[in-house]
Structure 1
């Protein structure tokens, strides 16, 4: 009788190899059950991997564009809200001018309304979102409008220089001595300077002849509006700037009304100022309404672009799901099978390790 040599080492080595492979497969299967996509795209898709990468990049591009568009929507919504507040200020000034009488109390009430409306308009024009001023054009880090009513305002000083120059040039002792015709002449010239059709002169503005009154003393805004690319071939304005005609006309109307609606000004001269201011406030309303309409069009274009992008994203995601997706039932079944295989391997390994001749002696 002959006995042969026997050893458990080869059996244990085979089991360890099988267990390591099963653990690796179980890890991948668990990942597929959790994510719903192949654990190893390269192995699973083969030649389709390049198409998978292209579709993934397309989805990421669209998501990035949608994020950019959400910033544009925030700017547009904030700008439209600010312009709505400006329209309210326009209405207040128009109402104050329409309800004027010659009584001192009425004039004082009107001036308080005008001052409040001017300050509210200035505050709205200086609105900001995320640290960027909405109506500064591309100068988003600079406050657009200078206050007329603040102490030491360079805007107020420039206005006073214009008035004093007119009085001096025409031999008029004071503002209260101006006739209706003189008030009309002064305000017509001043409005031309506010609107930019006439430039500064020297005197009264030393060294500034030929410059624009508005952009020199009132506005720090740039004429170029902020724009946003909302799709591959669409760019829209996401705000307007404080150099627009509506801004200029409103501030002019509010300032001259505030300055000339006083009891020391003769009735005829006051009426001349009210007539000029009323015309300007009408132009201001037209300008502000036009700005609101333009931004409304931009908002609609962004909305349409987002709908198109969302549709494209859904299509790409459907194709990606077809490529990447796994059968959830099959993956779960595979996990269960691999767990059972590992349990059996653990049990068998434990029993093999307990084998010993000592137990049979």
Structure 2
């Protein structure tokens, strides 16, 4: 009978290799117990790996669309709220004109002018509303404040109005020496010309403006820096909506015109007949601003329809994401109980291996001699 020896070195080496293998498995098991997903999808899924990747890409695409839709919803809701407030300001102007009536009292006129001034200032603030650093009434010029502050020192908007009024008075034959000398017909003629320039149907002229500005639009030259093109957002693979509006609409032009002419011309220095022409024009134009073509309320309606479309798309996208996430989870996810049991088993195995290794290392022939 022949015997052969087994060295303690070979035993220790074997145990070290076993321990290393268990440690690697523990790393995977621990990862799976934390993430609840297979540590190596390629090994686990095999040929189904490409389908899992496709599902993951589709979920990422849907999440991107949902983020876009969420931002669009925020912009649309902010725009709708601002337009609603502008409409209320328009009602304040109408109420002030009706309250004033044919009064010639300076206190009543001053109260009306104060209402117009406050309404124009608040209107400008609402038109300059921004969401996450983007001006929602600037069209695609989202980084530019859309509305000029009429009351700011050196305001080009205020200067433009004064230029138009002074030129009209000086160009008449004979020239009109002061506002008190303007007749009702002359006031209506001036308002007709100015309204046409505000709404863009008549261009700037030289004189009174510089030759370089001749032919341009008064509103976009002096009052608004907004673009006519609105922001667009893709809310689904097949749907793109306008996710903003702009300050160049007829409603906003008319609002500014009505508030400015009433604020500037409802003065005791203006004749009674001319003031009545201003009041009548203000009432008519502010009504168009709120309810006419491309009016503030029409913009609100358009924004509201877009908001509803986005909401429905978000519901569909969320349902799709839930279905795809469940399908992907069925492929990638591990059984939590099985993962925990496997991890505990590996811990026990590793502890046992350490114990055996320690005892082997204590073996020595000297202990038996």
TM-score, reference length from structure 1: 0.96
1:66 aligns with 2:66: yes
Match of 2:251 in 1: 246
Equivalent residue number for residue 11 of structure 1? 11
Please say which of residues 302-311 and 201-210 is displaced more in the overlay.
201-210
Q: What is the distance in 2 between the residues matched to 1:317 and 1:281?
A: 52
Stretch of structure 1 that moved more, 333-342 or 294-303: 333-342
1:209 counterpart residue number: 214
SS at match of 2:37: coil
Aligned twin of 2:351? 343
Q: Quote how far apart the aligned CAs of 1:109 are.
A: 0.6
Q: CA deviation at 1:148?
A: 2.2
2:114 to 97, 112, 115: 112
Q: Which moved more, 1:77-86 or 1:108-117?
A: 77-86
Residue ranges of structure 1 left out of the alignment (5+ in a row): none
1: CA distance between counterparts of 2:210 and 2:4? Answer: 118
Cα RMSD between the aligned structures?
Answer: 1.5
Structure 1 position 3, deviation (Å): 6.5
1:190 is the counterpart of 2:169: no
Count of residues in Structure 1 that have an aligned counterpart in Structure 2:
361
Q: Distance in 2 between matches of 1:44 and 1:2?
A: 48
Partner of 1:85: 85
Q: Out of 235, 241, 255, which is 1:236 matched to? A: 241
Q: CA deviation at 1:2?
A: 7.5
Secondary structure of the 1:228 match is strand
- Give 4+ residue runs of structure 1 displaced > 3 Å after superposition: 1-6
Using the alignment, how far apart are the partners of 1:147 and 1:57 within structure 2? 47
For residues 1-361 of structure 1, the aligned pairs below 5 Å read 4-100=4-100, 101-170=103-172, 171=174, 172-207=176-211, 208-286=213-291, 287-361=295-369
The CA deviation string for residues 307-357 of structure 1, in whole angstroms up to 9 with x for no partner, is 111111111111111111212222222222222222221121111111112
Pick which of 2-11 and 215-224 moved more: 2-11
Q: Deviations over 1:250-301 (max 9, x none)?
A: 0000111112211121211111111111110001112110111111111111
Q: Separation in 1 of the partners of 2:310 and 2:132?
A: 20
What are structure 2's unaligned runs of at least 5 residues? none
How far residue 4 of structure 1 moved from its aligned partner, in angstroms, is: 4.7
- Counterpart secondary structure, 1:58: helix
Cα deviation, residue 150, structure 1: 2.5
What TM-score results when the alignment is normalised by the length of structure 2?
0.94
Q: Which moved more, 1:75-84 or 1:256-265?
A: 75-84
